[in-house]
Amino acid sequence: MDKDRTDKVPELTYEAAVSRLEEIVTLLERGEAPLDESMDLFREGVRLSSFCSGKLKEMKEEMVKLVDADGSVAPIDQES
């Protein structure tokens, strides 16, 4: 596994992280990688998924604050 790639998750854009996550899913679905490599890919995928989820949550919270500051639109319903 390329440690540098996973250590830089916070430096990725959301779109780049999603793209890499899709690549990892495809690689794992093929089932061609050795077990150790598959586990490394899975770990990287978990980190990327967490990064993407956190980024979406941050953006949602910022949107709610912006809407509240303007006062013209009700805040987004908090389902999470």
* pLDDT tens-digit readout, 14-32: 999 999 999 999 999 999 9
The token duo for 47 is: 């980190």
Q: Model's pTM, two decimal places?
A: 0.70
Q: What is the pLDDT of residues 30-42, one digit of tens each?
A: 999 999 999 999 9
Predicted local distance difference test score (pLDDT) of residue 77: 63
**Among candidates 55, 56, 25, 54, which has minimal Cα distance to 38?**
25
10 Å Cβ neighbour count for 10? Answer: 10
Domain ranges (residues) in the chain? 3-69
Position 28 scores a pLDDT of 97
Q: Rounded to 5 degrees, what angle do the CA atoms 57, 38, 31 make?
A: 110
Lowest-confidence pick of 38-47, 49-58, 64-73: 64-73
